[in-house]
Chains A and B, each alone.
Chain A
Amino acid sequence: MSSEWQRLDPRAVPVSVILMLGVAVAAGVPSAIGLSDISVAVALGWVLPGAVVVVVIGTVAEWLRLRFSRYRVGPDRVELHTGMFIKNRRSLQRSRIRTVDVTANPLLRIFGLVSVRIGTGEHADKGTVRLSPVSRATGDQLRRTLLDRPAAAATAEGTLAVLDRGWIRYAPLSFVAPLLGFSAVGGALQVADWFGLSGNLVEWTIDRLSGLGLIGGLAVLVAAALVLGAVGALGLWVEMWWNYRLDREAGGTLRVRRGLLTTRSISVEEDKAQHSTLLPPAPGPLAHQVAADVVREPVSPTEAVHLSPHPVAARGRRLRWALGGVLLAELPLLLLGLLLTDVLLHLAWITALIAVPVAAALAVDAYRSLGHGLHGDYLVARSGSVRRSTVALQRRGIIGWTVRQSLFQRRADLATIRATTAAGSGAYAIRDVATGTGLDAADAATPGLLTPFLDFDESR
Chain B
Amino acid sequence: MKCSGPTKSIADADPSVAWVAERTAGGRKSDRRAVGWWSTDLVLLFAGPVVVLLVLGLLIRPARFWLVAPAVVIAVIGLGAVLALPRWWFRVHRWEVTDTAVYTRTGWFWQEWRVAPLSRIQTVDTRRGPVEQRFGLATVVVTTASARGAVTMPGLDHVHAEQVAEQLTEATQAIPGDAT
Contacts and interface: CB of A to CB of B under 8 A. Distances in A.
Contact of A400 (B4, B108, B110, B117): B117
Given A272-B180, A449-B101, A452-B100, A400 B17 contact: no
A308 B12 CA distance: 9
B111 A440 contact: no
Contacts of A425: 147-148
Contacts of B148: 402, 418, 420, 425-427
B120 A305 contact: no
B163 interface: no
A444 B8 contact: yes
B166 to A, nearest CB: 21
Contacts of B18: 436, 454-455, 457
A426 B16 contact: no
A457 B7 CA distance: 26
B174 interface: no
A406 interface: yes
A460 to B, nearest CB: 5
B80 interface: no
A74 interface: no
Contact of B8 (A123, A295, A374): A374
Interface stretch (A11-19, A234-242, A281-289, A296-304): A296-304
Contact of A437 (B8, B10, B110): B10
A66 to B, nearest CB: 31
A399 B118 CA distance: 10
B92 interface: no
Contacts of A374: 5, 7-8, 10
B179 interface: yes
Interface in B1-33: 1-5, 7-11, 13-21, 23, 26
Given A399-B145, A453-B21, A407 B7 contact: no
A455 B100 CA distance: 16
A404 B16 contact: no
Contact of A122 (B2, B108, B145): B145
A401 B14 CA distance: 21
Contacts of A296: 1
Interface string A381-422: 000000000000010000111111111001000000010111
Given A403-B21, A405-B111, A410-B111, A444 B10 contact: yes
Nearest to B101: A449
Nearest to A451: B100
B20 A453 contact: yes
A122 B179 CA distance: 12
Number of contact residues on A: which range applies? Answer: 35 or more
A85 interface: no
B100 A440 contact: no
B111 A450 contact: no
Contact of A298 (B3, B7, B17): B3
Interface centre among A418, A453, A455 (most CB of B within 10 A): A453
A101 to B, nearest CB: 18
A404 B4 CA distance: 31
Given A376-B4, A453-B21, A401 B115 contact: yes
Contacts of A401: 114-115
Contacts of A450: 115
A422 B149 CA distance: 9
Interface in B23-49: 23, 26
Contacts of A437: 10-11, 13, 15
A443 B115 CA distance: 12
A373 B8 contact: yes
B17 A441 contact: no
A122 B117 CA distance: 18
Contact of A399 (B15, B112, B149): B149
Contact of B9 (A96, A373, A399, A455): A373
Interface centre among B20, B100, B115 (most CB of A within 10 A): B115
Given A404-B112, A455-B19, A420 B10 contact: no
A123 B112 contact: no
B39 to A, nearest CB: 25
B116 interface: yes
Contacts of A214: none
A426 B15 contact: no
A372 interface: yes
B114 A372 contact: no
Contact of A305 (B4, B7, B116, B179): B7
A443 B8 CA distance: 13
A375 B8 contact: yes
B20 A422 contact: no
A403 B112 contact: yes
B13 A440 contact: yes
Interface string B109-134: 11111111100100000000000000
Given A308-B9, A427-B146, A399 B116 contact: yes
B115 A449 contact: yes
A435 interface: yes
16 contacts: A298-B3, A308-B10, A374-B5, A376-B4, A400-B114, A400-B144, A400-B151, A402-B148, A402-B149, A403-B112, A422-B144, A436-B18, A440-B16, A443-B17, A455-B23, A457-B17
Given A441-B10, A444-B13, 10 more contacts: A272-B180, A296-B1, A400-B115, A418-B148, A422-B180, A426-B148, A437-B10, A449-B101, A454-B17, A460-B14
